[in-house]
Chains A and B, each alone.
Chain A
């Protein structure tokens, strides 16, 4: 007798159909078509007059609770139910047990997941409150008084007379972080490009090259040079507003990338400059960067190639040693340093890496800002925080802890309808976001997506102005590193000291 049923992992969710509401009698099959994971099929049913009707049927093997069927069902006849626990053991919970089954019962592979870490680690943003104005200083009403949220990113001299390098001008202190063509489809990238142009900020191509069709948005584009060097050419760099060297990302510190060959279509192969159908592998380290002096050479190679006209950014994942690393990168010539916390999202990452590697962005950005200030070189470099930012107040808290601006990743996708089902790596995104499959990618309407992304930037910009007004701040540069405006709630002394803030009431 085969053991294979021992390792059977029932998916944690399945759709349930309310047949009284369901329109199957009139031949509706929308849910079947909308489900890109193959969870819903049709089951024949004998009608009253003996005719055969087809009703929707849950296959009980692939539901991720992406809610696509729920949202698309015209009569609202679908509910997603979650299954009971696999085990009732107090220590051995469903996740570790089912993960072991998956590995033991299949080919013994590394478990892959999409999006950022799901673990129970403290979200420090929730433990910091803004300090507002009362009586002794007036709050400022953003509806009546000008409220400035513009930022310039790039190298600046410490004092009058020195040079200000080329700068990125951000009308809102939020950029869209690196998400490649391949991980995303071109429609999503086009919407990001159009929205950032409209709102006066920047999007990042990620490491998948810069598609020809989007090059007229170069003025709002940051292009990446990652360890795979996909799509990198002189022209590629010169067509952008800034170049970012990707050392790491929060979802997978110390790990490279892998775009499976089946996702490498003709367009992707051209943009990445690799053969069609071949796996796109990004090595874990850059094979020409084994220490800080090597990074310096790459920074200056890029500056040479771009005639010193573009700021060069270096993106690293937030690790414990972030402060000295950032100081080294600043001294190596970077104009911008992006730090990505362990909550940062991704299309695909090994589960164990995602859940267990890196540190929270709140602590990392504070440590980096403090070190640069102590060394007297804070002005020479701009800091960008990312990885787990969920709200406009998170953005502002990151700025109070020392960030000049932030990158958003997951919130960009959520703006387009992403339900955070964590199956990005399958290429079957039911919302058409992290997929290049024909039939799915078309679910993104570029005009509507552009509007949604602009709405997000606008809304968060307005909320940031409200928050600033309550703190009596009319220019956002007066908040950078302004830990006086933050207070901790429920943090211990060590946490407070790393964040550089006082406890509430103190």
Chain B
């Protein structure tokens, strides 16, 4: 069990973190204090052209790993700005790792001939994550992740997320079932500008991981969220699938339905991407800089409720979070298993 909430302002309206903090707080029942976190888009408008790296160093501010990572970053990127991410220890979370953010751009000459700029950044992220004691929390432009071990509202207070504003916010309340609670293992999980909050435990893990490894994705965290993020990244960014097709691959319709509708493209997708099917219970909200995707497993074994209020969309494990944010919300519905809700912005912010 876990709790997730997403607030997506498709018109780019910026809101501060106090709303999402309240929305996830009332889902306290769905977590156990071993992980909470937030992703926010529209966070760094003044640095929107640079990749914003949120890094976590487990050894504290004097950790020797910091200079190792920074030396590495210097060889791979131009660092325009770096600073400590302020934290505010309190009686519920008294200490944590050391956090820093970096605004950077790749050194263009180093980008391989068959590599995109994003591939290059992913490579840098993967290399840092292989370093013991350092972990990249987020690496997208104009966005960032704050997460840790604790109840999500306590994590929110630890980072004072009410001091940040953004047009899209997601939150996660963790009840870890397969990996122990640690700061890096809290959700959201991100890669570039994509962040995933997830409630579930996927049973296709072994098959998915082996498929991803064929394409150079190494799952370091052994969490389902990481696997889902990589699958989505591979499908949309590397293989250029549409969002609809990518969702179909992860939660395909039954062969019987494909036969009945004689849908050649869907048969083709399911044949090629068999090992990318995500089985087992899951409900996810995947956000990116221009929208969001809400997806449930085919059997709807986890709750997800969606709602719309003018230009604002909501997704949540529990209706109460949505009612708290917008008591008289216009439209509220429960998406069917395997049927994605795809929210696209009309313009970029």
Contacts and interface: CB of A to CB of B under 8 A. Distances in A.
Contacts of A164: 268, 271-272
A160 B269 contact: yes
B178 interface: yes
A477 interface: yes
Interface string A385-426: 000000000000000100000000000000000000000000
Interface in B237-283: 238-241, 245, 252, 254-256, 268-275, 277-281
Interface residues of B, number: 42
Interface in A136-175: 136-138, 140, 145-146, 148, 150, 152, 156-162, 164, 167
B206 A140 contact: no
A150 B271 CA distance: 11
Interface stretch (A90-98, A229-237, A468-476): A468-476
A480 B210 CA distance: 10
B265 to A, nearest CB: 10
Contacts of A400: 206
A497 interface: no
B106 to A, nearest CB: 24
Interface residues of A, number: 38
Contact of A137 (B269, B277, B281): B281
A305 B344 CA distance: 51
A157 B203 contact: no
Interface majority SS (helix, strand, loop, mixed), chain A: loop
A376 B215 CA distance: 7
A145 B205 contact: no
Contacts, number: 106
B71 to A, nearest CB: 32
Nearest to A157: B272
A148 B255 contact: yes
A373 B299 contact: no
Contact of B271 (A152, A158, A480): A152
B274 A480 contact: yes
A482 B206 CA distance: 4
A138 B301 contact: yes
Nearest to B301: A138
Contacts of B240: 160-161
A162 B210 contact: no
Contacts of B274: 152, 477, 480
Contacts of A481: 206-207, 210, 275
Nearest to A369: B210
Contacts of A158: 214, 272
A41 interface: no
Given A159-B239, A475-B252, A482 B207 contact: yes
A475 B207 contact: no
B319 interface: no
B50 interface: no
Contact of B239 (A133, A160, A472, A477): A160
Interface string A461-500: 0000000000111110111111111000000000000000
Most buried by B among A136, A156, A167, A478: A478
A378 interface: yes
B298 interface: yes
Nearest to A480: B207
B275 A480 contact: yes
A350 to B, nearest CB: 39
A159 B239 CA distance: 6
Contact of A472 (B178, B203, B245, B270): B203
B271 A475 contact: no
A480 B239 CA distance: 22
B328 interface: no
Nearest to B241: A160
Interface of A: 133, 136-138, 140, 145-146, 148, 150, 152, 156-162, 164, 167, 373, 376, 378-379, 400, 471-475, 477-485
21 contacts: A136-B178, A137-B201, A137-B203, A152-B271, A152-B274, A157-B272, A158-B214, A160-B235, A378-B275, A379-B214, A471-B203, A472-B203, A473-B280, A475-B252, A475-B277, A478-B207, A478-B208, A479-B207, A481-B206, A481-B207, A482-B204
Given A137-B177, A477-B207, 19 more contacts: A137-B280, A138-B301, A145-B299, A148-B254, A158-B214, A158-B272, A160-B241, A160-B273, A161-B239, A373-B214, A471-B203, A472-B281, A473-B204, A474-B298, A475-B279, A477-B275, A479-B204, A482-B206, A484-B206
